[in-house]
Structure formats: structure tokens, C-alpha cells
Amino acid sequence: MKRTEIAQLLPAVFQRTLRPDNPLPALLEVMEAHHAPAEALLDQLDAIFDPRRTMDKFVPFLAYWADLTRLFERTSVAEDQLAISSSPIETGLGRLRELVASAAYLSQWRGTRKGLLLFLQTATGQEDFEIEENVGLDGQPRPFHIIVRAPQESARFSHLIERIVELEKPAYVTHEFVFGPAAGK
């Protein structure tokens, strides 16, 4: 806030005495200087809360707000502590940024085939996921069961994929995984 703006907020008695020959202008300069750092931070506030532009160490905090810490690796020190390192999920900090940015949209589709596919694609960066419903690996009908077919390249993220499926599918649905080429290819 500039000193002219601060002066307008002063009571009328102070505004009348605002002249170069008294200490009030110097006091207003000090107030302006004290406001400058806070105003600079407030000018960039949108970047702090944008998961794609914020500093790396703040992304896990934003993930906490979006309830994505359930995907983080657990430490062996204590069951309830999270391992918040430079990359809290196996696919990297960039994928976590995308998950945080998409969290509101993904939550709309939670518990659906579309939502699970979108979540897996966003978390891994792989597009070739398929979900087959109500059928077993043997091809026989199996109610309330899904087969998640994941691209072979995503096998290194199998722990993350399994956590996502466990957390995003309906509780009554069972599941199996197949890593390899898509069924239609």
C-alpha cells in the first residue's frame, strides 16, 4: 500500500497535519516499506495454491487438502506417518501435481468405471488402461468383479495402481490385474 493510500486511511486530524516539515511523512514511508513484502506475497498468492506452479515442497500439502495422501507410501517408522519426500508417489511429483489439479473432477466420478480409468491415467501418465466389468479372467460371468488391464510399461507402478483401484472402486467390487498389451490390440 502506497503512503498516499495509507494517508487517506488516517483520521482527519492527522491528514490535516500531514506536511513535509513534520515526522508523519517519514512514518508513512516506513509503513509503506513494511507493507511491501506482504503485498508482494499476496500478488503471487494464486501461484502458491496452483499445483502446477507452486514450489515442489508445497505439492504434498496441497495433496493433503485434496485427500490424496492416501496414495502416499507409508514409512516403516510408524504406521500413521507419511513418507513425504521429493516424490511421495512412485510416478513422480509431476503426476502428483496433475492429480491435485484434477482432484475435484476426479471426485465427481469416484466409484465409476470412467472415474477409475481417469484416475489411473492421471496418476501414471499411461493411456492404455482398460476395465472389464462382471467377468472373470476365465471369461465366465462374475458379478461385481472387474479386471483392470494395464499397459506393460505401468507394471513398475503396480503398488500405486493397486492402491488406486482399492481406494477408488466400490467396496463390494472384487478385482484382478493384468499387465500387458490391451485386449483389443
pLDDT in tens, 129-171: 999 999 999 999 999 999 999 999 999 999 999 999 999 999 9
Q: What are phi and psi of 156, to 5 degrees?
A: -70, -15
Instruction: Quote the pLDDT of residue 182.
Output: 56
Per the model's pLDDT, the better-predicted residue between 35 and 78 turns out to be 35
pTM: 0.76
| C-beta neighbour count of 41 within 10 angstroms | 10
Region for 95 from its dihedrals, namely left if φ exceeds 0, alpha if ψ lies in -120 to 50, beta otherwise: alpha
Q: Cell numbers 502506497 correspond to what residue?
A: 2
Sorted by where each begins, the domain ranges of the chain are: 3-43, 48-108, 109-185
What is 34-91 written as a DSSP string? HHHHHHHHHHTHHHHS-TTTS-GGGHHHHHHHTT-GGGSPBPSS-TT-B--SS-SSTT
User: What's the pLDDT band for 185 if we cut at 50, 70, 90?
Assistant: low
174 SS3 class: strand
Q: How many angstroms separate the CA atoms of 144 and 141, rounded? A: 10
Q: Cell numbers 496414495 correspond to what residue?
A: 71
Q: What is the pairing mode between strands 130-135 and 174-179?
A: unpaired
Provide the grid cell at 92. 513422480
Q: How many angstroms separate the CA atoms of 59 and 99, rounded? A: 10
Provide the grid cell at 106. 476426479
Instruction: Quote the pLDDT of residue 173.
Output: 95
Mean pLDDT over each residue of the chain, to the nearest integer? 89
Question: How far apart are the two ends of the chain, measured CA to CA in Å?
Answer: 63
Percentage of residues in the chain having pLDDT higher than 70: 90
Dihedral angle of Cα 81, 82, 84, 85, to the nearest 10 degrees: 90
Say which CATH topology domain 109-185 has.
GMP Synthetase; Chain A, domain 3 (3.30.300)
